[in-house]
Amino acid sequence: MKQLWAPWRMSYISGQDKGGADGCIFCLPESVDADRERLVLFRGRYAYVIMNKYPYSNGHLMIAPFQHTADLASLGNGEALDMHRLTILARDVLSDCFAPQGFNVGMNWGGVAGAGVRDHLHQHIVPRWQGDTNFMPVFGDVRVIPQHLEETYELLTAGFGKLAGQYSPPEG
């Protein structure tokens, strides 16, 4: 039997990966100094795009509001619109960089719905390709990601730089 090594996941499994202020991985400081380390790709007016550190597939991104909230109804119109516009921008960047054939987009609210972080609303956008699933998740409880996170970050940062002009921040 072959082994797949994923040592970067240990901090997540052990609960050591707590992230930003008060342990919320989605609460960002105003300073952009740690954006690369935190895998932040693009900051909008009310929300931002970040890579999933533990992706389901290559290019798995998340869009989160700057406001710390678990309730979609608590978002103002500008925040909700910004999350929508950033989802479209993320889709366009992923299409340009990786040419996926489809996307899964959605939110998991509550632990029973699969939310790993329940206290800060976030939306996933996962690029998909024909035949991208295989036996590994079923039999080995393992996902195979074909590219290192840092390499993916570089490609996507360039992609967001290239397409950033498409972003139109909500009024506010």
Whole-prediction pTM: 0.81
Predicted confidence at residue 114, as pLDDT, reads: 82
- Percentage of residues in the chain with pLDDT exceeding 90? 62
Model confidence pLDDT, tens digit, residues 88-102: 999 999 999 999 999
Could you confirm whether 122 is annotated as catalytic?
yes
DSSP string, 71-106: -GGGS-HHHHHHHHHHHHHHHHHHHHHH--SEEEEE
pLDDT band at 6 (very low <50, low <70, confident <90, very high): low
What size, in residues, is the chain? 172
Model confidence pLDDT, tens digit, residues 128-155: 988 766 444 444 444 445 567 888 999 9
Domains and CATH numbers, the chain: 36-163 (3.30.428.10)
Task: From the candidates 68, 84, 120, 122, give the one annotated as an active-site residue.
Answer: 122
Residue for token digits 């678990």?
A: 70
